[in-house]
Chain A
Amino acid sequence: MQSDTTKPADREPDRPVITRRLDRLFLDLADVSSFVGRFFREMFLPPYEFKEIVRQCYEVGYRSLLLISTTGFITGIVFTNQSRPSLTEFGAASWLPSLIAIAIVRALGPLVTALIAAGKVGSSIGAELGSMNVTEQIDAMEVSGTDPFKFLVVSRVIATSFTIPLLTMYTIFVALIGAYINVNQHEQTSFTSYIQEVFGAITYVDIFASLIKSIVFGFTIGIVGCYKGYHSSKGTEGVGKAANSAVVTSMFLVFIEELLSLQIVGAIRGS
């Protein structure tokens, strides 16, 4: 009997059904669907690994806070500074807070957080699970009676899905503060006026869209990292590949999801 950590490529039939490549693609898709389905099933079934979830929240959320906050702060300053000349050109520098608010809340906050998390957390999960797979710790857990999927995958995906929205809120907050410092330095705008401008430009749709989007991003990063690590090929090379693949795939998916969310939110806003 094959282990559930075996790669789809390892389970390829000797004779291809369509072509070897297409067969592999569909097998991958089926495996991912099965993985995601299993996650949702396991998530609601006891026993619940709360401690592991809290530990993962600590690792994913708290440990990324400094990096993400710094990135958000810099993003706020840089974006403000780069946007100023264009607005100043037609005498609309006073619109800078509105522009920054829309850009940060709608797109930059969730996207920057997701990309940083994909790089830091996605690679970490991929490498960690890949290394456990390579060293057959996952098999050992299974043998010892612990559900490795629930313990390793469910806890991590829940942690990323829960903490990345929180990190997004931090990023938005810190980026807006950074932008304020820059705006105040150049335009001498008061904090009250800045806040009025910022919240005058955004709507509930923007805030909730960002929140939902970052939950999806978190889920994507977690599930891709876990999948790549859980199904890494044997050997030390497999660990590296799993980590790398987790980052690249999750980043790519984050951009695809951003594009989709743009269409969906646009449709909601338009109605």
Chain B
Amino acid sequence: MSTESNKRSVVVGIFVLLGVLIFVAGVFVLGGQQKRFTKSIRIMAVFSDVAGLKAGNNVWFSGVKIGTIKRVKFFGTNQVEVDMDIEQSAQSYIRKDAQATISSDGLIGNKIVQIFGGTPKAGPVEENDRLKTQEALSSDKVLETLQENNQNLLRVTNDFKALVGNIRRGKGTVGAVLTDSVVANNFKLAMENLQKASLNTVKVTGSVSAFAAKLNTKGSLANELVTDTTVFRRLSRTASRLENAAGSAEKTVSTLNLTSENVNRASEKLNNTNSPLGVLLTDQETATNLRTTLRNLNKGTELLNEDLKAAQSNFLLRGFFKKKAKEESKRKADSTTVVQPQP
């Protein structure tokens, strides 16, 4: 019986111990979570509206929980003072010129106090310091703005409705464009042309691309033109020479122009029947006379040749001609001897 009783007592002891341990562990974990056992300093902030902030809500700095709200009380005439316990470890990061605002933990979460800003020039916050505050955007203000937006939207939609009505009735330029079939056909044609143009653009782009590829091909003339500085210099020189040549050509052309003017003038004179050459070139009668004259000259010449032959056979002139023939044959023989090649 005694053993049974002892066993029972031990079991009860273990049962109680475990129960108490669970409780104590819960208390400590909760304390750790709520930073109950960490050293803290108290700072304050005064707001016009705390939007339902309560004692126990969290204080955040740069998105990190650094403390809790200890007390929310009225201040002055219509303001609210919020006392916050901030972890001592976070004290050095919060500057005296930092600001506090009421925010919320998520879209529909608990209210929190968010500390932000602060410059390194201002020292770290100290016990019982009062932070500057920035009034948070309340949901009422958001709704007011939304309401204003709604009204604007309503006006815009009404205007748009009227505009669409006018367009449908064919009023105004856009209405005409949309309702007139001729304009629509023109627009269609314009679109087709645009499409063709875009196709051409595609082709051009392809050509440009191919050209660019050729430009990038090493060893090709185009590539050398673009990349080789020696070729470029040569080209530059050639261009300057071409420029000079063009200058010279220009002068030549101007000279040629003058010449052609002279030729023109000369041809004008040739065409003129008052001038001797003009008469020769253009007058039919003169031409006929000239032809007759030439025929007569030919006949005259033939007759003269016969007379000359007859004269050569004459005893008075025969010696002269024989002497002349001998001199001629001698000159020919001399020239043959000089021309012979050396062995």
Contacts and interface: CB of A to CB of B under 8 A. Distances in A.
A37 B15 CA distance: 30
A42 B23 CA distance: 29
A172 B18 CA distance: 13
B30 A62 contact: no
Interface residues on B, range: 20 to 34
A165 B23 CA distance: 10
Interface string A157-173: 00000110111011011
B197 interface: no
B33 A196 contact: yes
B56 A55 contact: no
Nearest to A199: B33
Contacts of A30: none
A265 B22 CA distance: 22
Interface residues on A, range: 20 to 34
Contact of A170 (B12, B18, B29): B18
A211 interface: yes
B16 interface: yes
B311 interface: no
B8 A54 contact: yes
B219 interface: no
A170 B19 contact: yes
B12 A169 contact: no
Contacts of A184: none
Given A199-B33, A203-B56, A166 B5 contact: no
Contacts of A163: 15-16
A173 B21 CA distance: 11
Contact of A65 (B15, B22, B30, B108): B15
A61 interface: yes
Contacts of A57: 12, 15-16
B26 interface: yes
Query: Chain B at the A interface: mostly helix, strand, loop or mixed?
Result: helix
From B18, B20, B23, B33, name the one whose CB has the most chain A CB atoms within 10 angstroms. Answer: B23
B12 A61 contact: yes
Contact of A169 (B9, B19, B29, B30): B19
A167 B12 contact: no
B30 A202 contact: yes
Interface string B1-31: 0000100110110011011101100110111
Given A55-B8, A58-B11, A62-B11, A169 B22 contact: yes
B20 A166 contact: yes
B252 to A, nearest CB: 89
Contacts of B16: 57, 61, 162-163, 166
From A163, A166, A196, A202, name the one whose CB has the most chain B CB atoms within 10 angstroms. Answer: A166
A257 B23 CA distance: 22
Interface string B27-55: 10111011000000000000000000000
Contacts of A62: 11-12, 15
A15 interface: no
A55 B12 CA distance: 8
Contacts of A92: 108
Contacts of B31: 204
A262 B93 CA distance: 41
A207 interface: yes
B9 A61 contact: no
Query: Chain A at the B interface: mostly helix, strand, loop or mixed?
Result: helix
Contact of A166 (B15, B29, B30): B15
Contact of B34 (A61, A195, A203): A203
A167 B33 CA distance: 24
A199 B30 contact: yes
Contacts of B8: 54-55, 58
B27 A204 contact: yes
A143 to B, nearest CB: 24
From B18, B27, B33, B108, name the one whose CB has the most chain A CB atoms within 10 angstroms. Answer: B33
Interface string A218-254: 0000000000000000000000000000000000000
A200 B33 contact: yes
A167 B19 CA distance: 7
B30 A207 contact: yes
A54 B33 contact: no
B12 A173 contact: no
Nearest to B65: A200
B27 A61 contact: no
A51 interface: yes
A62 B56 CA distance: 37
Contacts of A162: 16
Interface string B249-264: 0000000000000000
Nearest to A200: B33
Contacts of A207: 23, 26-27, 30
A250 B8 CA distance: 27
A169 B33 CA distance: 19
B4 to A, nearest CB: 10
B30 A51 contact: no
Contacts of A199: 29-30, 33
23 contacts: A54-B8, A55-B5, A55-B8, A57-B12, A58-B9, A58-B11, A61-B15, A163-B15, A163-B16, A165-B19, A166-B16, A166-B19, A169-B23, A172-B26, A173-B22, A199-B29, A203-B34, A204-B34, A207-B23, A207-B26, A207-B27, A207-B30, A211-B23
Given A54-B8, A57-B15, A173-B22, 6 more contacts: A58-B8, A62-B15, A162-B16, A169-B19, A199-B33, A204-B31
Interface of B: 5, 8-9, 11-12, 15-16, 18-20, 22-23, 26-27, 29-31, 33-34, 56, 108
